[in-house]
Amino acid sequence: MRIVVIGAGIVGSAIAFHLSRRGAEVTLLDSGEPGMGASSHSFAWINAFGKEPRHYNELNRRSLDTWDRYARLLDADIGLRWGGQLTWTSTDEDAEWLKENVAKLQSWGYIARLIDERELACLEPGLRPGQVSAAAISENDGHVLGTKAAQVAVRRVEQLGGTVRSKTPALGLDVVGDGVATVQVESGSIECDAVVLAAGVAVTELAAVAGVTVPQYESPGVVVKTNPMPQIIESASVLYAPPISDDQPEIHVRQGTDGVVMIGEGSQESLARDDSQEHADRLLARASHYLPALASARAVPVPVGYRPMPRDEMPILGFTESVPNLYIALTHSGITLAPLIGEFATMEILDGARIDLLDPFRLERFS
């Protein structure tokens, strides 16, 4: 099959990679450079903790379990690190929330458990957690370098014989008939058997050209980075720390295999637009409160990033009913989900499979 994949972020590159492995003739287009969209602004946490409802948790968790296989297939250093999410709370109310959450996740068979202060200190000797009302670890969770993973996958697509065209925006798409589609680019049009739309926030605009409505809302987010630091976080892949004062949300902190520490505020979906140096300095100061070794780090603001965000926050995956050879792959938590989406989309496109696990995530739920 000849397939055009529009968008070379973590999601589009994973789909293009798996399609190429299976022998499809792939053309991968990106309007900019691969991996430089939302995937480059991401905290890039691989997790399912706190993700609901259950079928969404299950999807994330399956993908989490697929990441090792994906990394093995890519066969390069993509900064994948495991160790688990370490969460602790400082108030009785939040402790109740954490205990209930862990109990629910355990009942779903998710690897998570409550730990005491002694174990918390053993796991992270450099951590000064302050008042601890409850603590938990979900040992399965990890993180990765989002841009690097996308760029390696793109390289593999080329090595497998695919065509990669950077700085080549798809301008439109058309269904010519008999299952044949064309994608318009500046230099002309590319004929193919199926189009995969994985252009992140731009999916809505491009789908509209083909008469397909993909509802999304704007979801700006901000992470802060530091200069590369010696190892500060010993074993956990992510620390999820309580607010220092009532007027501030919680923070999450990770250290990449490149030594860079990343800090985010609130939850993975929190809306934020302040990408100023002052904000970055404040966030770093809050992280240093818990990790004193960070006091010598320098805060590097990252420009605000826009999460691809379907209106109901659940992924939109699969062929559309109105344009049968148009496959949509639009999702938040795309770093976590990319390896599974890559494999599932490939089976649906090349084998004609219909994966029932994806049924809750079809576009048609909006109609």
Ligand X SMILES: Cc1cc2nc3c(=O)[nH]c(=O)nc-3n(C[C@H](O)[C@H](O)[C@H](O)COP(=O)(O)OP(=O)(O)OC[C@H]3O[C@@H](n4cnc5c(N)ncnc54)[C@H](O)[C@@H]3O)c2cc1C
Interface residue list for ligand X (CB under 6 A):
6-12, 29-32, 36-39, 41-45, 146, 169-170, 198-200, 202, 206, 221-223, 268, 305, 307-308, 331-336
Output 6 or 95, the one with its CB closest to ligand X: 6
- Residues recorded for the chain: 367
Integer CA distances (angstroms), 44 to 83, 130, 334, 338, in order: 14, 27, 9, 11
d(CA 3, CA 319): 13
**From the CB of 146, what's the least distance to ligand X, in Å?**
6
**From the CB of 254, what's the least distance to ligand X, in Å?**
9
Q: How many CB atoms lie within 10 A of CB 82?
A: 17
Amino acid at 32: G
d(CA 196, CA 316): 12
d(CA 198, CA 191): 18
d(CA 119, CA 78): 30
Angle, helices 10-21/54-74, rounded to nearest 10 degrees:
60
Q: Is 224 exposed, middle or buried (0-12, 13-18, 19+ CB in 10 A)?
A: buried
Output 146 or 162, the one with its CB closest to ligand X: 146
Output 129 or 339, the one with its CB closest to ligand X: 339
Residue environment code for 185-208, b if the CB has 16+ CB neighbours within 10 A, otherwise e: beeeebebbbbbbbbbbbbbebbe
Q: Give the residues across from 265 on adjacent strands.
A: 251
**From the CB of 143, what's the least distance to ligand X, in Å?**
7
**From the CB of 193, what's the least distance to ligand X, in Å?**
19
**From the CB of 13, what's the least distance to ligand X, in Å?**
7
Output 332 or 362, the one with its CB closest to ligand X: 332
Integer CA distances (angstroms), 220 to 204, 269, 303, 329, in order: 16, 9, 10, 19
Output 255 or 333, the one with its CB closest to ligand X: 333
Output 95 or 262, the one with its CB closest to ligand X: 262
Output 39 or 346, the one with its CB closest to ligand X: 39
Which residues have C-beta within 8 Å of that of residue 210, sequence separation ≥ 6? 173, 174, 175, 323, 326
Which residue lies nearest ligand X, judged by its C-beta? 9
**From the CB of 122, what's the least distance to ligand X, in Å?**
26
Which residues have C-beta within 8 Å of that of residue 128, sequence separation ≥ 6? 289, 290, 291, 292
Task: DSSP letter for 267, please.
Answer: S
Output 59 or 95, the one with its CB closest to ligand X: 59
**From the CB of 223, what's the least distance to ligand X, in Å?**
5
**From the CB of 342, what's the least distance to ligand X, in Å?**
11
